[in-house]
Amino acid sequence: MNGELYLSRAKTRKYFIAAVLLFVLQMILGLLMSIQMVSRNTNLLFPFDIYKALHLNLMILWILLGFIGGLYYLLPGEVGRDIKHPRMIDFQFWFLILSGVGIIISEFFFTGANWWLVEGREYVEAGRFWDILLTIGLLTVVYNVGATVVGRKKEMSSPMIVLAWGAVGSILMYIPGEIWFNSLVAAEYFRWWVVHYWVEATFELIAAGIIALVLLSMTDVKRGIIEKYLAIEVALILLTGIIGQGHHYFWIGTPGFWLFLGGLFSALEPVPLFLMVWSAYKDLKENRKPIPNKVALYMIIGAALGNVLGAGVWGFMHTLPQVNFFTHGTQITASHAHFATPGTYLLLVLGIAYIAVPELAGKFSFSQYRGRIGFWVLVLGFMNMIIALVIAGIIQVYQQRMQGVSFMAVQNMLLPFYGWRTIGGVIALVGGIIVAYDLIVLSRPNTGGFIDETKEVKR
């Protein structure tokens, strides 16, 4: 992004490629699950729960890979020095990948056999053994980032501070979910610390930081304006998000005052997300500098919009306790998750990958046709999935939760919409494969004999 050369940057390329390949694998697992939901036949190679566990855990793994890669890619330019221990970047990558392979093998072959290998709680299914390994690996990332920041040669900009806070915070927030409690209530209480403080605090900080950093480098808007907006966004995200945790404590056996606190603060949670989109829109309107990397801009703006629609609007839709009493544990939640997560974090990781991968391969100008097609196919696929699930959710809330029709009878009614969701999944998978293929092609450096069809323009 800035013209200086840092040797460790070249090592981050594999993080992005691995992230996007794991994303494709996650979508294949999701597709298999959606077929099981239509057919109610769980003998599709493996049972439903194993696919579901891997669908979530692979997502966590590739989001972490993308963010760590992005952090290592952006940090040297911001602190004016190379990463303190460049060899650790390689080591940490292979460590994470090996843990991922271990989690996949344990899920497929050891579910039910050993609690240390498969723990089977939503989002933190990885067994205790893998939890400890992952935590050690991620703490070394914290150390490496910290050591680099301590020896910095120039002041860090506030987007970078936010990004570092977010990355370090998300790694530390993995720990509360690993504490053993006898009580289900306490176990659920702290399991949500992992999930909620990731998606509604630390990952959200990373999102705000990356959007601000990209806008700073791509546009000619004044630094002070972007940084001021960022500070207000971050303060609001934390103010609303940390107590907004309460919306997970409505019905898990915690006291009734959480209904008030969770309802109030989580209703305010969309405010910083609206601010994020509005400031990005305003900045791009004022901008007079041409932006060559359109695909990355598509992804980043898509992430801001996906954040406000998926997390903000879709989240607000069922966050008030009076509404959540009926929507809790229905397909409404599935619709929200399939909008907010890919809408924000997938597009963010892809955005940072589309900035880093071509630049690391020395391609300052590249054909953006395939990337844009991939983006729109992904959007189309996910829109189908989201709308199908939201219709299914509304029917389920009305029939099952309000009218009291039995679970299975309602699931029978929802079959056409599950079928629609499968169609959306196929479309999204095509989009994911296009994007993954495009990134792999872009990651190959131009060799002497290779003639790129797009004209190479050096800056």
**Which residues are 126's β-sheet partners?**
118
Concatenating the DSSP letter of every residue in 267-282 gives HHTHHHHHHHHHHHHH
Q: Which residues of 223-256 are buried (b: 16+ CB within 10 A; e: fewer)?
A: eeebbebbbebbebbbebbebbbbbbbbebebee
Nearest distance, CB of residue 183 and another protein, angstroms: 6
Nearest distance, CB of residue 221 and another protein, angstroms: 16
120, 53 in Cβ contact below 8 A?
A: yes
Tokens 């890619």 appear where? 73
What is the spatial distance between Cα 329 and Cα 457, in angstroms, rounded to a whole number?
A: 53
Of 2 and 41, which has the nearer Cβ to another protein?
Answer: 41
**Strand ranges in 327-405 using DSSP code E only, listed in sequence order:** none
Residue span binding another protein (CB under 8 A) among the ranges 15-23, 82-90, 232-240, 340-348:
232-240
Of 92 and 384, which has the nearer Cβ to another protein?
Answer: 384
Query: Counting Cβ atoms within 10 Å, is residue 171 exposed (0-12), middle (13-18) or buried (19+)?
Result: buried
Nearest distance, CB of residue 90 and another protein, angstroms: 33
Q: How many C-alpha atoms does 88 have within 13 Å on its Cβ side?
A: 17
Residue ranges in 262-321 that form contacts with another protein under rule CB under 8 A? none
Residues 315-354, mask of contacts with another protein (x by CB under 8 A): ----------x--xxxx-xx--------------------
Residue ranges in 127-186 that form contacts with another protein under rule CB under 8 A? 158, 161-162, 165, 182-186
Residue ranges in 438-457 that form contacts with another protein under rule CB under 8 A? none
Residue ranges in 237-266 that form contacts with another protein under rule CB under 8 A? 237-239, 241-243, 245, 249-259, 261
Of 91 and 115, which has the nearer Cβ to another protein?
Answer: 115
Residue ranges in 195-214 that form contacts with another protein under rule CB under 8 A? none
Q: Pick the binder of another protein from 408, 449, 451, 453 (CB under 8 A).
A: 408
Of 160 and 442, which has the nearer Cβ to another protein?
Answer: 160
Of 87 and 222, which has the nearer Cβ to another protein?
Answer: 222
Of 256 and 448, which has the nearer Cβ to another protein?
Answer: 256
- CA angle 433-211-197, nearest 5°? 85
Nearest distance, CB of residue 363 and another protein, angstroms: 21
Q: Pick the binder of another protein from 14, 81, 370, 372 (CB under 8 A).
A: 372
Residue ranges in 102-131 that form contacts with another protein under rule CB under 8 A? 111-115, 118-122, 125
Nearest distance, CB of residue 429 and another protein, angstroms: 16
Cα–Cα separations (whole angstroms), residue 149 to 66, 77, 146: 20, 11, 5
User: Contacts from 428-431 at CB under 8 Å and sequence distance 24+?
Assistant: 428/27, 428/377, 428/378, 428/380, 428/381, 428/382, 428/384, 428/385, 429/24, 429/27, 429/28, 429/31, 429/381, 430/377, 430/381, 431/374, 431/375, 431/376, 431/377, 431/378, 431/379, 431/380, 431/381
Residue ranges in 416-435 that form contacts with another protein under rule CB under 8 A? 416-420, 423
Composition of the chain by helix, strand, coil, percent to 5: 75, 0, 25
395 binds another protein (CB under 8 A): no
How many residues touch another protein (CB under 8 A)? 98
Nearest distance, CB of residue 325 and another protein, angstroms: 6
Residues 25-44, mask of contacts with another protein (x by CB under 8 A): --------x--xxxxxxxx-
What is the spatial distance between Cα 224 and Cα 108, in angstroms, rounded to a whole number?
A: 51
Q: Pick the binder of another protein from 101, 136, 179, 232 (CB under 8 A).
A: 232
What is the spatial distance between Cα 211 and Cα 149, in angstroms, rounded to a whole number?
A: 21
Of 19 and 160, which has the nearer Cβ to another protein?
Answer: 160
Q: Pick the binder of another protein from 6, 108, 274, 376 (CB under 8 A).
A: 376
91 binds another protein (CB under 8 A): no
Of 81 and 128, which has the nearer Cβ to another protein?
Answer: 128
236 binds another protein (CB under 8 A): yes
Tokens 């699930």 appear where? 389
Is 105 in a helix, a strand, or coil?
helix
**Which residues are 118's β-sheet partners?**
126
